[in-house]
Amino acid sequence: MLSRVADALYWMSRYLERADNIARFLDVNWHLTLDLAVSQQNHWSALVSVSGDRVVYKQTYPDDSKNNVVRFLTVDPEYTNSIYSCLYKARENARSVRDIIPEEMWEQVNVFFHFVEQRAKPPSQLFENPYNFCEEVKRRSMTISGLMHDAMDHDEVWLFFHLGRMLERADKTSRILDVKYFVLLPDAEDVGTIVDDVQWSALLKATS
């Protein structure tokens, strides 16, 4: 296998997994803010910290409001790790190995990118409620994952694709645990309460 092919497979997989991970913890965070009292809805800032790109964020956005954080992580074309940017780069990598991967996988990646591209044009509804967008990103990611397992021979191509996916998942899981642990350290009066249960359940969902 040529090194450029291995590189494209590895990064295509990482970018697809990264987009899926962002959608998952955005979705979990959205539901968490619905479950908690207004005074406890300070979790949007943590999502920027999980990304590891707070310095980049502060160059464009003045505060950690929900709309700013959602835009930054989903459809900001200037942010290299937004869902939009991840899908663009995954698509370009997939294009370079179209003769290697199943045709159905290329088609799904291409359609996936165009779906996100369309949602980026009138994003106000996305900012209001990111749930439907996140669900669709997760659904499309699972479709590609299914194609990876069922339509690809489990050879070197599959191994490099799988390697990228698992490394990205490990990286994001460790970031979420590192940041969210300190965000979710409860006040003494919250230990063992419903608030405590809701927060830690959200953490488990974000890493599942």
Q: What is the mean pLDDT of the chain?
A: 85
Span 137-178, pLDDT tens digits: 999 999 999 998 888 888 899 999 999 999 998 988 887 777
Span 72-102, pLDDT tens digits: 999 999 999 999 999 999 999 999 999 999 9
**pTM for this prediction:** 0.85
CB 110 within 8 A of CB 91: yes
* 158-191: b (≥16 Cβ within 10 Å) or e: eebbbebbeebbeebeebbeebbeeebeeeeeee
CA atoms within 13 A on the CB side of 1: 18
